[in-house]
Amino acid sequence: MKNIMFIAPPAAGKGTQAELVVDKYHIPHISTGDILRDISKEDSEIGHYVFETLSSGKLVKDEITYQLIEERLKNSDCRNGFIIDGFPRTLNQAIEYDKILANLGYSIGNVIYININEKTLEKRITGRRICEDCKTIYNINDPNNAPQIESICDNCGGKLYQRNDDNLASFQTRYKMYQEKTEPILNHYREMNVLHEVNGEDTVENVFNEIDKIISE
């Protein structure tokens, strides 16, 4: 099993696809968000630093993130492949990540780019509704996933709500950041011949089938 990295714009379904891969292949899902949250609970110098940084809404220094990722990847459960999630987000981080892998004797593996149109993402974001009670997720802009009545859950009759950050302005900010910071990573891995592109416009199931083909090769 090769290591897997996903690169995708916000709301492209990266998290869902990562879970599907984990369910099928039982490899660890290395999420930098989880690593940071875990370390922030530790009573140590680095734990306190991460706790304070996250609490104040700032970004953890890259050097600290690199160190934590390297430590996590050293664990024996990563020797037979893993998914890295939420990292790298910039070209500099990608270059540093390559070095970490080389240090540990790991290969980059497959970098999977979920390619999806900005307008599709806008529709997904602005149409997303969540049930207050059973947490079922709907999309009023997607006929295959819309509730019968726009504000009521089909499953349990609960009220549907929209998350605060599921709005156009917030999406556009995140998308712009992705274009500026993350997109340059694509060329980096394309030049290394490890980049695979999948069509993110398709259904969750079909996107997963495409991904599965790549990683089972």
Residues 104-133 that bind Zn ion (CB under 5 A): 131, 133
129 is an active site residue: no
Q: Give residue 155's Cα distance to chain centre.
A: 28
79 is an active site residue: no
The yes or no reply on residue 149 touching Zn ion (CB under 5 A) is no
58 is an active site residue: no
Out of 24, 163, 176, 213, the active site residue is: 163
Out of 72, 89, 124, 129, the active site residue is: 89
Task: Report how many residues bind Zn ion under the rule CB under 5 A.
Answer: 8
Binding window for Zn ion (CB under 5 A); candidates: 25-33, 51-59, 109-117, 155-163: 155-163
Q: How far apart are CA 140 and CA 112, in angstroms?
A: 28
Amino acid at 63: E
* H helical segments located in the chain: 14-25, 32-39, 45-55, 62-74, 91-104, 118-127, 168-177, 183-191, 204-215
Q: Residue 78, class by beta-carbon neighbours within 10 Å (0-12 exposed, 13-18 middle, 19+ buried)?
A: middle
The yes or no reply on residue 204 touching Zn ion (CB under 5 A) is no
Residues 63-92 that bind Zn ion (CB under 5 A): none
User: Which residues does residue 115 pair with via DSSP β-bridges, in sequence order?
Assistant: 199
105: left (phi over 0), alpha (psi -120 to 50) or beta: left
The yes or no reply on residue 134 touching Zn ion (CB under 5 A) is yes
The yes or no reply on residue 147 touching Zn ion (CB under 5 A) is no
The yes or no reply on residue 153 touching Zn ion (CB under 5 A) is yes
Please pick, from the candidates 67, 155, 179, 187, the single residue that binds Zn ion as defined by CB under 5 A. 155
- In angstroms, give the least distance from the CB of 147 to Zn ion: 9
- In angstroms, give the least distance from the CB of 124 to Zn ion: 20
The yes or no reply on residue 156 touching Zn ion (CB under 5 A) is yes
Nearest to 119 by CA among 196, 197, 171, 186: 171
89 is an active site residue: yes
Token digits for 45? 């110098």
The yes or no reply on residue 158 touching Zn ion (CB under 5 A) is yes
Name the residues that contact Zn ion, by CB under 5 A: 131, 133-134, 136, 153, 155-156, 158
